[in-house]
């Protein structure tokens, strides 16, 4: 057993070393890191763009405390971020307004001053807040004038809140729903691209070993399964390295841009994405490797990958358009239990926060079982086909000739 | 000791191995001969389990070769194979380690061999950038860098220039001296004759002749006379080898001008032969010898 692991380790290590040295690796890692960092920075940028800056309102130092506190309460009620600035005198305040240090001035508790008409239009919300606040301040006086006691006035202004009831007692859904949705679609795309990319990469590696005939030399000292498994593990390690580079870049981008308000689920999603990426790569890489063993020339590779690509594409679109539309539906449940679709459908579903623990566990178990079956099946095909050069080897032929093969 | 025991293999309707048996001993070089398609490559591949045999068994020191003993073997397939874009030294180190060497040990061995074959300055080159001859040198290094007990070389010298053949031949010879069992196939019979201790000649998947070179030669039922006679030397019998008619069982292999090569039964008296030739004319040269390997080869596969 030890010997097997040693050999597989050597094969994997060669795979990693040779791939990491290529320009393709450097380029694709850079692309992954840029996309990840760009994605994070972009999210922050978009949030900034949609979240308006604070409304700056100037008041005089002499303004009563009731005015400023009412202004702040009103702004909060309207969902406006208010930046209150105090000035010593009208003159200084007007200079500040002229200088664009403030958007508007509220003078004597009854006059709202803007710089120009354009500025007034773009600060309608501020005007609304100021108006409402002043109206509220004046109300008790007006009520008293109408003959009500201050208590009566207050109870009119602050009525007891209405009793509330819930038809659905369920806990509220996580607040980051939209961001989670984005993360969910993002993880499907990442998984699909990664599996297709690394799958093809391992296929090309297998075909290369056949065309250069080095496989014959290798199998003079290795068993086919050792070679196959070592190769897949090597590619997997390279894949996870690139995934790691993406995560590091994303974290760095958060640190640099200060976009701390990524959805809370992002960290957990990243971990699960890593887990499912690993499982998905395992499952599909072995299939790609076995497919590669069937052909002897790069040109023929397209023919043998078509079935795998069809399954992968099917899983991808079904995830995007069926499972994510109705994460609680039967289709989504089935897809989460089928090994070929589970690695694609589970990360987004988990990003959305829906599946119960038993479903996650069942999906993991089914996928691992599926991987075991795929390893066994593709190992046999690989052993039966990898030493046969010339025309494309038929599946059944490879399967049969593996009987008694090393 | 390596033993191939009654190997049988059929590819569709073609019988590749038809009960082939042979042995190769440690410290000796076995020349593995046979016409194209006689089953040499198939039997060599079967040693490494690269062919699923229909019947028969391959044994190394009395036991089947398994994952563990495979590390002590070296193989140079007929269809050469190296990673084209991998650097020469890395490649040698990789194969050395696959065969069980430690990292430092493998690097040292790789450097030693590269130095020895004058490839030290190409250590960092990609294999695809090397000349054909140098690729073949690297291929040979890959097969023996880990000092295997068993070295199997399928036509290791084909396509090499005479200097290359000489250096690589000496290298392989040394492996046998070190104690490895070496098998190599070749169509260069004179080379095999120079290098090998033992030979095995196979034909149509069977062993026709096997043993030490001296043994198989002396076991032959024939002797060979190569004679050059001055003048047309025909003595009225027609042809340079007209004198042959007086000897029972003699056969003319070829004749050109006054020179001829004749196969005679082993019990023919060379004195009698000489006397016959003298009758034909003045003898310029006369050689009477046991069969060369090429003669044995032709005898075996006819």
| pLDDT, tens digit (0-9, with 9 covering 90-100), for A39-55 | 777 766 665 555 567 78
Contact of A231 with A286, CB cutoff 8 Å: no
**Mutation site, B9, B42, B71, B81, interface A, largest A CB count within 10 A:** B81
Contact of A44 with A257, CB cutoff 8 Å: yes
Stretch A240-261: mean pLDDT, rounded?
80
Cβ neighbors of A76 (< 8 A, separation 6 or more) are A82
Q: Report the percentage of chain B scoring pLDDT > 70.
A: 96
| Model confidence at A150: pLDDT above 80 | no
Distance from CA of A250 to the nearest CA of B (A): 34
Distance from CA of B75 to the nearest CA of A (A): 6
Q: Do B83 and A212 make contact, defined as CB atoms within 8 angstroms? A: yes
**What local confidence, expressed as pLDDT, does residue B234 receive?**
47
* CATH code, B183: 3.40.50.300
Domain co-membership, B139 together with B238 = no
Helix or strand or coil: residue A213?
A: coil
**What local confidence, expressed as pLDDT, does residue B143 receive?**
94
**What local confidence, expressed as pLDDT, does residue B256 receive?**
83
In this structure, of A175-179, A397-401, B285-289, the range with the lowest mean pLDDT score is A175-179
Domain co-membership, B233 together with B194 = no
Domain co-membership, B277 together with B296 = yes
Chain A residue whose CA is closest to B82: A214
B77: nearest CB among A18, A216, A406: A216
Stretch B167-192: mean pLDDT, rounded?
92
In this structure, of A253-257, B58-62, B226-230, the range with the lowest mean pLDDT score is A253-257
Chain A residue whose CA is closest to B103: A10
Q: Do A221 and B70 make contact, defined as CB atoms within 8 angstroms? A: yes
The closest of A30, A18, A15 to A235, measured between CA atoms, is: A15
CB contacts of A205 in chain B (<8 Å) are none
In this structure, of A239-248, A253-262, B273-282, the range with the lowest mean pLDDT score is A253-262
Confidence of residue B105 (pLDDT cuts 50, 70, 90): very high
Contact of A338 with A366, CB cutoff 8 Å: yes
Stretch B110-123: mean pLDDT, rounded?
93
Domain co-membership, B82 together with B183 = yes
Query: Among the three residues B217, B237, B253, which one is the final residue of a domain in this structure?
Result: B217
Domain co-membership, B182 together with B155 = yes
| Model confidence at A394: pLDDT above 90 | no
Partners of residue A112 on adjacent β-strands: A106
**What local confidence, expressed as pLDDT, does residue A68 receive?**
84
Query: Among the three residues B163, B193, B217, which one is the final residue of a domain in this structure?
Result: B217
Residues of B near A (Cβ–Cβ under 8 Å) read: 45, 48-50, 52-53, 67-68, 70-71, 73-77, 79-86, 90, 94-95, 97-99, 139, 142-143
Domain co-membership, B141 together with B255 = no
* Number of structural domains in chain B: 2
| Model confidence at B238: pLDDT above 60 | no
Q: Do A214 and B81 make contact, defined as CB atoms within 8 angstroms? A: yes
CB contacts of A218 in chain B (<8 Å) are 81, 98
CB contacts of B50 in chain A (<8 Å) are 216, 219-220, 387, 406
- pLDDT tens for B250-271 read 888 888 877 888 888 888 888 8
Confidence of residue B294 (pLDDT cuts 50, 70, 90): confident
| Model confidence at A189: pLDDT above 50 | yes
**What local confidence, expressed as pLDDT, does residue A170 receive?**
56
Quote the CA–CA distance of A378 and B281 in Å, as a whole number: 76
**What local confidence, expressed as pLDDT, does residue B232 receive?**
53
Contact of B149 with B180, CB cutoff 8 Å: yes
Neighbours of B106 (CB within 10 A): 22
- Ramachandran sector of residue B239 (left: φ over 0; alpha: ψ -120 to 50; beta: rest): left
**What local confidence, expressed as pLDDT, does residue A265 receive?**
56
Q: Do A217 and B68 make contact, defined as CB atoms within 8 angstroms? A: no
Q: Do A219 and B48 make contact, defined as CB atoms within 8 angstroms? A: yes
Domain co-membership, B27 together with B168 = yes
Whats the size of chain B, residue-wise?
302
Q: 């060979």: which residue's tokens? A: B224
Instruction: Tokens for B263, please give them.
Output: 């196969």
For chain A, domains (ranges, CATH) are 2-40+176-401 (no CATH), 52-153 (3.40.190.10)
Confidence of residue A174 (pLDDT cuts 50, 70, 90): very low
Stretch B83-95: mean pLDDT, rounded?
94
Q: Do A221 and B85 make contact, defined as CB atoms within 8 angstroms? A: no
Confidence of residue B284 (pLDDT cuts 50, 70, 90): confident
Domain co-membership, B57 together with B171 = yes
Query: Among the three residues B201, B217, B233, which one is the final residue of a domain in this structure?
Result: B217
- pLDDT tens for B123-165 read 999 999 999 889 999 999 999 999 999 999 999 998 888 888 9
* CATH code, B285: 3.30.70.1150
* Full domain range(s) for residue B52: 2-217
Q: What is the pTM of this model?
A: 0.77
Domain co-membership, B200 together with B225 = no
Q: Do A221 and B73 make contact, defined as CB atoms within 8 angstroms? A: yes
In this structure, of A76-90, A139-153, A243-257, the range with the lowest mean pLDDT score is A139-153
**What local confidence, expressed as pLDDT, does residue B94 receive?**
96
Q: Report the percentage of chain A scoring pLDDT > 90.
A: 29
SS (H, E, C) chain B: CEEEEEEEEEECCEEEEEEEEEEECCCCEEEEECCCCCCHHHHHHHHCCCCCCCEEEEEECCEECCCCHHHHEEEECCCCCCCCCCEHHHHHHHHHHHCCCCHHHHHHHHHHHHHHCCCHHHCCCEHHHCCHHHHHHHHHHHHHCCCCCEEEEECCCCCCCHHHHHHHHHHHHHHHHHCCEEEEECCCHHHHHHHCCEEEEEECCEEEEEEEHHHHHHHCCEEEEEEEECCCCCCCCCCCCHHHHHCCCCEEEEEECCEEEEEEECCCCHHHHHHHHHHHCCEEEEEEECCCHHHHHHHHHC
Cβ neighbors of B19 (< 8 A, separation 6 or more) are B6, B7, B8, B56, B205, B206
Chain B residue whose CA is closest to A207: B83
Domain co-membership, B75 together with B90 = yes
Q: Report the percentage of chain A scoring pLDDT > 70.
A: 87
Domain co-membership, B185 together with B237 = no
| Model confidence at A87: pLDDT above 70 | yes
- pLDDT tens for A258-311 read 655 555 556 777 888 889 999 999 999 999 999 999 988 888 888 888 999 999
Residue A123 phi/psi, 5° resolution?
Answer: -125, 40
Stretch A107-132: mean pLDDT, rounded?
82
Q: What is the mean pLDDT of chain B?
A: 89
Domain co-membership, B208 together with B237 = no
**What local confidence, expressed as pLDDT, does residue A172 receive?**
47
């Amino acid at each position: 057993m030890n010997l097997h692991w040693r050999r597989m380790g050597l094969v994997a290590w060669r795979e990693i070393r040779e791939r990491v040295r290529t320009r393709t690796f450097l380029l694709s890692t850079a692309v992954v890191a840029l996309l990840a960092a760009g994605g994070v920075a972009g999210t922050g940028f978009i949030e900034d763009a949609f979240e308006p800056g604070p409304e700056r309102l100037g008041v005089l130092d002499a303004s009563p405390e009731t005015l400023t506190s009412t202004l702040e309460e009103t702004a909060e009620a309207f969902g406006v971020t208010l930046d209150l600035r105090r000035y010593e005198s009208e003159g200084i305040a007007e200079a500040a307004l002229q200088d664009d240090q403030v958007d508007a001035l509220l003078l004597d508790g009854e006059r709202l001053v803007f710089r120009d008409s354009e500025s007034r239009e773009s600060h309608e919300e501020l005007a609304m807040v100021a108006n409402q606040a002043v109206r509220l301040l004046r109300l008790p006086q007006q009520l008293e004038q109408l003959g009500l006691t201050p208590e009566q006035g207050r109870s009119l202004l602050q009525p007891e809140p209405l009793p509330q009831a819930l038809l659905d007692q369920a806990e509220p859904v996580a607040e980051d729903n939209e961001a989670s949705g984005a993360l969910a679609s993002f993880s499907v795309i990442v998984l699909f691209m990664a599996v297709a990319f690394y799958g093809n990469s391992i296929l090309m590696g297998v075909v290369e070993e056949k065309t250069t005939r080095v496989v014959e030399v290798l199998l003079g000292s290795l068993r086919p399964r050792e070679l196959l498994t070592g190769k897949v593990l090597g590619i997997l390690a390279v894949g996870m390295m690139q995934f790691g580079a993406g995560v590091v870049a994303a974290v760095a981008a958060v640190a640099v841009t200060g976009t701390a308000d990524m959805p809370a689920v992002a960290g957990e999603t990243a971990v699960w994405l890593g887990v499912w990426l690993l499982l998905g790569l395992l499952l599909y890489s072995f299939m790609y490797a076995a497919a590669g063993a069937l052909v002897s020339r790069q040109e023929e590779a397209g023919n043998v990958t078509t079935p795998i690509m069809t399954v992968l594409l099917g899983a991808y679109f079904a995830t995007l358009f069926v499972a994510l539309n109705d994460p609680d539906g039967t289709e989504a449940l089935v897809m989460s239990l089928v090994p070929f679709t589970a690695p694609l459908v589970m990360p987004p579903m988990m990003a959305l926060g829906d599946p119960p623990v038993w479903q996650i566990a069942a999906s993991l178990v089914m996928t691992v079982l599926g991987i075991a079956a795929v390893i066994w099946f593709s190992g046999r095909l690989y052993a039966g086909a990898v030493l046969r050069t010339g025309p494309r080897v038929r599946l059944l032929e490879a399967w049969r000739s593996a009987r008694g093969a090393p | 000791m390596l033993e191939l025991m009654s190997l049988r293999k059929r590819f569709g309707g073609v019988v590749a191995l038809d009960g082939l048996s042979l042995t190769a001993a440690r410290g000796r070089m076995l020349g593995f001969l046979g016409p194209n398609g006689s089953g040499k490559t198939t039997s060599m591949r079967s040693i490494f389990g690269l062919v699923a045999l229909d019947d028969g068994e391959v044994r190394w020191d009395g036991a089947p070769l398994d994952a563990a003993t495979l590390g002590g073997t070296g193989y140079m397939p007929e269809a050469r194979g190296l990673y084209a874009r991998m650097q020469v030294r890395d490649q040698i180190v990789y194969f050395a380690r696959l065969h069980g060497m430690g990292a430092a040990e493998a690097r040292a061995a790789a450097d030693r061999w590269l130095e020895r074959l004058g490839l030290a300055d190409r250590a960092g080159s990609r294999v695809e950038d090397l000349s054909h001859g140098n690729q073949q040198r690297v291929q040979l290094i890959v097969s023996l860098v880990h000092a295997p007990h068993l070295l199997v070389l399928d036509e290791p010298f084909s396509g090499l220039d005479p200097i290359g053949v000489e250096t690589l031949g000496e290298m392989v010879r040394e492996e046998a001296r070190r104690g490895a069992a070496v098998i190599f196939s070749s169509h260069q019979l004179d080379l095999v004759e120079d290098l090998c201790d033992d030979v095995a000649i196979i034909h149509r998947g069977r062993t026709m002749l096997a043993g030490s070179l001296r043994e198989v030669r002396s076991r032959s039922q024939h002797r060979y006379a190569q004679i050059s006679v001055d003048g047309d030397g025909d003595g009225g019998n027609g042809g340079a080898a007209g004198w042959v008619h007086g000897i029972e069982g003699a056969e003319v292999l070829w004749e050109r001008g006054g020179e001829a090569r004749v196969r005679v039964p082993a019990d023919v008296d060379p004195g009698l032969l000489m006397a016959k030739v003298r009758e034909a004319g003045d003898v310029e040269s006369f050689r009477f010898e046991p069969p060369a390997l090429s003669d044995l080869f032709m005898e075996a596969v006819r």
